[in-house]
Structures are given as C-alpha cells and as structure tokens.
C-alpha cells in the first residue's frame, strides 16, 4: 500500500509518501513541504497548496490519503488556515476517487511512538527509525506527514475492514 500523508497548514503543508504493509518494513517514497508566503492572499496560498498536492498525487499515485484531523487550538486564525488546507487535500483526493482517512495528532503520536503525548522530537526520531532514514526529516511538518502515512498503513487498513464489515451488516461505525 502506498499512502500520501498530509500535515495541513497554510504556511507549511507537509507531504510524505510511504509504501509498505503491516508486518513488513515500510519505505520512504517522497517527503517535502509546500511553503506559501504570508504576504500572499489566502486564495493564492490555497491554489499553490493544491498544486503541490496534485503534483505528489500525479507523481506517486498513492492508494490512500491520510490527513491530520483538525483539533481546536486557542488561535482561531491557525485553525482556519489549517482547516482550509485540509479541505483542499480532501478535495484533491476525492477528485481522484482515493480513500481519505483523518487521524488525530494523539493517534499518530501513539502509533509511531507508543505515547499519545509524544513531542515533535520523539515523533521525528521514531519516523527516522521506522523508515530507516539517515537523518530526521525537517521541518517537523515533513516528519508529521510521514507519521500520518505510517499510521494509516498500520491502522487504516484494519479500520477500513471493520467499517466494511459493519456496512455489510447494515450498521454504522462509531
């Protein structure tokens, strides 16, 4: 399975592609960050982010897209920009018929480090170890995008099977 992980942000949008399956070593396919200047208007920034996501989708043809689920912080402007970038990512994936999964930051931290309250350095160190990289991906948005892709490979497949079984039984997942 090949997954594009997206750590949405208006200034820095992390994009990481990981390939592998449960029980087998995972491999880094690509990692980077789409950066937009704060002087640009929000619509210009969103178009630029969309182009960066579309380029990764074209180049790497992932099987799924994993996006960080937005959670409330104290700074409303940060939440809005992050939510807008996440929406663009969902549209890009949906346009291609790709499954989209939203993973919370604590879920991702727990999946890659074993601790849902791990800090950025711990997540980056574990991503480096899991993917057998020579150096930690920088900035943290890049490492977070890879962590999202890893989480989806490890957890997303089983969640999709549970939802499919519930749908077949005529029930909804909680």
Binding site feature residues for Mg(2+): 7, 68, 141
Q: For residue 18, give the nearest of 7, 5, 8, 6 by alpha carbon.
A: 5
Examine residue 139 and say whether the peptide bond preceding it is cis (omega within 30 degrees of 0): yes
Q: Which of 7, 19, 50, 144 is catalytic?
A: 7
Annotated catalytic residue 19: no
Annotated catalytic residue 68: yes
Annotated catalytic residue 141: yes
> Using CB atoms within 10 A of its CB, is residue 43 exposed (0-12), middle (13-18) or buried (19+)?
exposed
Q: Which of 44, 141, 144, 163 is catalytic?
A: 141
CB 149 within 8 A of CB 45: no
Question: Which residues line the annotated binding site?
Answer: 7, 68, 141
Q: Which of 58, 68, 144, 163 is catalytic?
A: 68
Catalytic residue numbers, as ranges: 7, 68, 141
């Amino acid at each position: 399975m090949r997954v594009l992980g997206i750590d949405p942000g208006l200034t820095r949008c992390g994009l990481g592609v990981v390939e592998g399956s449960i029980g087998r070593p995972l491999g880094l396919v690509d990692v980077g960050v789409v950066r937009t200047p704060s002087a640009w208007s929000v619509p210009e920034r969103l178009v630029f982010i969309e182009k960066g996501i579309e380029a990764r989708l074209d180049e790497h043809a992932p099987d799924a897209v994993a996006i960080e689920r937005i959670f409330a912080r104290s700074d409303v402007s940060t939440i809005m920009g992050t939510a807008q970038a996440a929406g663009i990512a969902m549209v890009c994936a949906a346009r291609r018929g790709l499954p989209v999964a939203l993973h919370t930051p604590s879920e991702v931290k727990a999946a890659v480090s074993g601790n849902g309250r791990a800090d950025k350095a711990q997540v980056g160190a574990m991503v480096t170890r899991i993917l057998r990289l020579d150096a930690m991906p920088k900035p943290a948005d890049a490492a977070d995008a890879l962590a999202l892709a890893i989480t989806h490979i490890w957890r997303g497949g089983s969640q999709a099977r549970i939802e499919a079984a519930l749908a077949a039984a005529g029930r909804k997942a909680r």
